[in-house]
Amino acid sequence: MDMTPPPSQACATNGAARKAFYEAIAARNMTPLWEVLHALVPPQPATPCLPSLWRYGEVRPYLMESGRLITAEEAVRRVLILENPALRGQSAITQSLYAGLQLILPGEIAPSHRHTQSALRFVVEGRGAYTAVDGERTTMSPGDFIITPSWTWHDHGCDGQEPVVWLDGLDIPMLRFFDAGFAENGSTQSQPVTRAEGTSYQRYGANMLPVRYDAPFGQTSPIFSYPYERTREALHQLERQAPIDAWDGVKLRYVNPATGGSPMPTMATFMQRLPAGFAGQPWRQTDGAVFSVVEGHGNVTVARDEQVWTFEFGPRDHFVIPSWHTAQLRSAQGCVLFSFSDHPVHQALGIHREERLS
């Protein structure tokens, strides 16, 4: 005689049995894969991150207010973190990247420390501040891209007359994921200066390298500062003389001159110029990217499934395009955009994907 219950009854019986089973194994720190399999390996990236824009006109008053509430010394780093709206409380702008806007006022010092997290600075406003890395100071000017390699002593100061603001980009969420973060405070507020300003640029930044080059910071670029003057000139000349890419306009990536790879092992940095009248083609890629608007105005349309966001942007605004969101850039008058992403990690792992759509 067939003892198999009819299908509906099998399901009901099974449902209760499964629930009891899940509870039993849960008490032993186990869980059934078949309940989560689909979410673990989604058909395409399913980032929780949202596109977001931070208008500088709205952010700046809060930054200046923070300058009245706390000194750089007390804060150690006086920064307003740009948090992805979908990752509040996690100090993250994407799942792998941290971004913040740091303020230093005339006469202030942000004390010396070091950590295994790599940092980039992109100068947004003001002159006269410096950052010191491994015994060498670099004066900051708007548009300069500056590096703090992993585990190097660094402190900042402001000898000028005006507030200075820069974008910090760090690989904090990545190192947190790997549980590989270490940090140490310096024994003095400002580290001793042991080399003349510009030494790293002269040694490594003239398309030449010292004859017995020995990478001072492992995989990280030996150049501390990539001045905007040079970058800007290159982009403007290329705009006049070379073909314009239909997706990116004129886009260059910063390099470690000794390897041709990204300036830091965890973060790639880019600068691009959209010519006047540029209406870019849409693209999507797995590396989520953070943008800092350097000059000019434009807009970006970001889409995912049925959702569409359009951000009008101007100088010093910041925005994030998360992984696998389709993006499209436009500029009526022309503009210059700095950006950074976790591209080198995708590349190292062989998981980077990009689609250029039309």
Contact residues for ligand 1HN, defined by CB under 6 A: 77, 79, 100, 102, 115, 119, 154, 156, 168, 170, 172
Provide the minimum distance between the beta carbon of 165 and ligand 1HN in the complex, in angstroms, as a whole number.
Answer: 12
The sign of the torsion formed by the CA atoms of 198, 204, 208, 214 equals positive
Q: Is 122 helix (H, G, I), strand (E, B) or coil?
A: strand
| Residue 245 falls in which region: left (phi positive, over 0), alpha (psi -120 to 50) or beta | beta
Provide the minimum distance between the beta carbon of 128 and ligand 1HN in the complex, in angstroms, as a whole number.
Answer: 17
Residue 100 or residue 149: which is nearer to ligand 1HN going by CB?
100
Provide the minimum distance between the beta carbon of 77 and ligand 1HN in the complex, in angstroms, as a whole number.
Answer: 4
The Cα 220–Cα 336 span in angstroms is 25
The Cα 201–Cα 215 span in angstroms is 14
Contact at 8 Å (CB) between 318 and 53?
yes
Residue 133 or residue 335: which is nearer to ligand 1HN going by CB?
133
- One-letter amino acid at 344 equals P
Provide the minimum distance between the beta carbon of 104 and ligand 1HN in the complex, in angstroms, as a whole number.
Answer: 9
Provide the minimum distance between the beta carbon of 148 and ligand 1HN in the complex, in angstroms, as a whole number.
Answer: 6
Number of neighbours of residue 129 by Cβ within 10 angstroms: 28
Residue 170 or residue 290: which is nearer to ligand 1HN going by CB?
170
- The contacts of residue 239 (CB under 8 Å, 6+ apart) are 249, 250, 273, 275
- The contacts of residue 1 (CB under 8 Å, 6+ apart) are none
Provide the minimum distance between the beta carbon of 159 and ligand 1HN in the complex, in angstroms, as a whole number.
Answer: 17
Residue 152 or residue 331: which is nearer to ligand 1HN going by CB?
152
